Amino acid sequence: MLNEILRKKVLTPDHSIYEMELHVPQLAKKARPGNFIILRLNERGERFPLTIANYNATKGTITIVFQVVGKSTKLLSELNPGDRIQDVIGPLGNEIHVEKYLHPIIIIGGGVGIAPCYPQARALKTLGNEIITILGARTRALLFWKEKMARISDEIIICTDDGTEGIKGFVTKPLKELISKRPISLIIAIGPLIMMKNVSLITRGEAGLPRIKTMVSLNPIMLDGTGMCGCCRFLTKSGQVHFACIDGPDVDGHLVDFDNLIKRSRRYMEQEKISLETLHSNG
């Protein structure tokens, strides 16, 4: 059945991150690394974007990974194999540029951002690139897809904020060490806005470190996914307005005004909190 959930897996002990495989044959045929979809669970549901974490044109499936942070992702987490999502729109956004680079590529995944790193790393590795992967999470229990990423990486580095696995600290710690020791052709960072901001600050060519092209993946509030509604707009440091849905979601991290984007991302936090708290209430 179209838009049917074929498989569901809980990725973390606290049941905060889930993996789902969806049956969407036409979408799966056209999906590429960097693309995303917009979901609507039911007739009254909101539209929300999720990056495509994997795709299989032969099976007609895509894989999504999401974290329960609000009402819609909570409702999605309660669906099971055999259930059907009303609307799955995509693939949207731009495919990443893939080529053979002279020097290694560093791919950084933070939290749930680890998942969309996979198709990008796989595509770049297929062309013979050397891939160095840095995965970060608050604690060991929130890490996932380590083995999956290791299979397509020449080197993998784990970081946890609390030190329960790998390096204690943020992903920026091993990043600084790597770029100070050897040439790097490209950096791809996907994860929380603050993480992508800090990665971009390190790689902009200051404090004695080299300037390295850095691509980040933006996932702001979206509505139509075609650039017409303006919900996903973000500013560059020069004040230009861009839209994550059509100009991204992968964009040059050195151009993004992260401070403005972080403020915008917090605009509806109170409303989202209330919506989640009253989800299953009788009121």
pLDDT at 277 over 90: no
Kindly state the average pLDDT of the residues 93-100: 94
Q: pLDDT band at residue 283, thresholds of 50, 70 and 90? A: very low
Q: What's the mean per-residue pLDDT of the chain?
A: 93
- The class (CATH top level) of 105-265 is alpha beta
Task: Give the pTM.
Answer: 0.93
Kindly state the average pLDDT of the residues 179-208: 95
Residue-wise pLDDT tens digits, 203-249 = 999 888 999 999 999 988 888 888 888 888 999 999 999 999 999 99
Instruction: Please indicate whether the domains covering 4-92 and 105-265 agree at the CATH topology level.
Output: no
Amino acid 199: pLDDT: 97
Q: pLDDT band at residue 52, thresholds of 50, 70 and 90? A: very high
Kindly state the average pLDDT of the residues 180-205: 96
Amino acid 268: pLDDT: 67
Higher pLDDT, 228 or 113: 113
Share of the chain above pLDDT 70, in %: 98
Amino acid 243: pLDDT: 92
Kindly state the average pLDDT of the residues 56-68: 97
The CATH superfamily label for domain 4-92 reads Translation factors (2.40.30.10)
Q: pLDDT band at residue 187, thresholds of 50, 70 and 90? A: very high
Domain ranges of the chain: 4-92, 105-265
pLDDT at 135 over 90: yes
DSSP per-residue letters across 184-228:
-SEEEEES-HHHHHHHHHHTBS-TTPPB--EEEE-----SSSSSS
Amino acid 280: pLDDT: 66
